[in-house]
Structure 1
């Protein structure tokens, strides 16, 4: 994707600037209109894209989230929804996370709280400008940079994706197995879960590989976990064999 390539290129360019020390320490001017440090109430967060209109519709997050990352994700959801750019912002945020995880120098830069806030803000402005991100995305990342929260951007991005999936009526099902499921079995499992959901919802299947379960499947679906792994069955059998036998029963 062109946007993902631009994000990687801009991060790589900034990494070179870090290595060769070409970043200026001059303070970047960040408007208070985009600074929202703690987001105590997502419904009252400021719009990252532009000043709010007098009669703009009230936006509600589809899933209640808590904690620092949940508050940031909720605030971004409201801003992106007001700008009618949920999918675009999600794509840009995930591209940013993907690009930064592949650049170890920049990852260290994001996690280092000893780096002055003005340096972080300047870096994000340059990266987002080169990647041609929307103002909503850029301003949000500037907020994270200014508040020392860039090290949590991957967690925030995941929670933001949870909100956009809920908005689209998608439900994520995580299937853990020892080896990747064959296409036919994956389709059968997805169809079964889709029947459970019914109309109006769409299953998004995600596969994870974990040899420690020894065999079988573990399916995390909504708030439920269906553990059909050999490891769990072996533990259950072990507990059964250790239980005392009552011959009088």
Structure 2
């Protein structure tokens, strides 16, 4: 109910907003409501920046993170604290209205005790903004060692070629945003994730598959 009220109360009722991606669950509903309000206010980029900045602030401050997750904190205290944060950060009205109660909206995150879900909601919101901009995030996990034994990401040329390959797969009209991760446990090769697809070309997975093959009993009849 809060998300439905938020979506209609903060924008013009006659304006129709097409949501580029269907999200489900509580965090999906909140993210969708925020997206609709931000689009109506023509503040999508600004709201995205503000929400991500707030998430980063919780990561930099263990006390603030604990505060957002502590349900024993009285509702009035939560609201007062988040209002102060919004004021100091000069957040837009859309972001402030989403985080704390206003005259237009009875309650959202702070009053509902949903601050603990802020990071999850922010991730779902970014899914919507990326879909809005036609962007596809591709996560590439590798393990590469330089001669000093320091782990490094893919060399620029290999990164460029991989990005071009993914771009060819998803087709024109979308832009690939490549994010690299390093995980020594995969032993070598690549693990590529994008658009709800996973391409596992890691040595670790190949080794597991080989182990399973060697453990299977040999069927003499098939030899």
> If the TM-score is normalised by the length of the shorter chain, which range does it land in?
0.7 to 0.9
The reply on whether 1:55 has 2:14 as its aligned counterpart is: yes
How big is the shift at 1:101? 1.0
Q: Which residue of 2 aligns with 1:207?
A: 180
How big is the shift at 1:248? 3.3
The one of 157, 161, 172 equivalent to 2:122 is 157
How big is the shift at 1:176? 1.0
User: 1:135-160 CA distances to partner (integer Å, 9 max, x unpaired)?
Assistant: 00111111211110111101110110
Q: Which residue of 2 aligns with 1:17?
A: none
Which runs of structure 2 are paired with 1:104-143 in the superposition (5 Å)?
Answer: 104-142=62-100, 143=108
Gaps of 5+ in 2: 101-107, 145-152
Q: 1:166 to 1:54 in 2, by over 3 A?
A: closer
Q: Is the 8 A contact 2:12 2:40 kept in 1?
A: no
Instruction: State how far apart, in whole Å, the 1-side matches of 2:117 and 2:13 are.
Output: 33
How big is the shift at 1:49? 7.6
Which runs of structure 2 are paired with 1:169-248 in the superposition (5 Å)?
Answer: 169-179=134-144, 180-248=153-221
Q: Is the 8 A contact 1:47 1:78 kept in 2?
A: yes
How big is the shift at 1:46? 2.6
Structure 2 length-normalised TM = 0.88
Gaps of 5+ in 1: 1-35
The one of 62, 65, 83 equivalent to 2:23 is 65
Q: 1:151 to 1:48 in 2, by over 3 A?
A: farther
Instruction: State how far apart, in whole Å, the 2-side matches of 1:72 and 1:161 are.
Output: 12
Instruction: State how far apart, in whole Å, the 2-side matches of 1:136 and 1:94 are.
Output: 14
- Structure 1 stretches of at least 4 aligned residues deviating more than 6 Å after TM superposition: none
Instruction: State how far apart, in whole Å, the 2-side matches of 1:158 and 1:48 are.
Output: 22
Instruction: State how far apart, in whole Å, the 1-side matches of 2:183 and 2:9 are.
Output: 41
Q: Is the 8 A contact 2:7 2:36 kept in 1?
A: yes
User: 1:161-212 CA distances to partner (integer Å, 9 max, x unpaired)?
Assistant: 0100000000111111124111111111001111112210000111122111
Instruction: State how far apart, in whole Å, the 1-side matches of 2:30 and 2:162 are.
Output: 34
The one of 46, 50, 59 equivalent to 2:6 is 46
Instruction: State how far apart, in whole Å, the 2-side matches of 1:146 and 1:118 are.
Output: 8
CA RMSD in angstroms, aligned pairs only: 1.5
Q: Is the 8 A contact 1:89 1:137 kept in 2?
A: yes
User: Aligned residue pairs: how many?
Assistant: 207
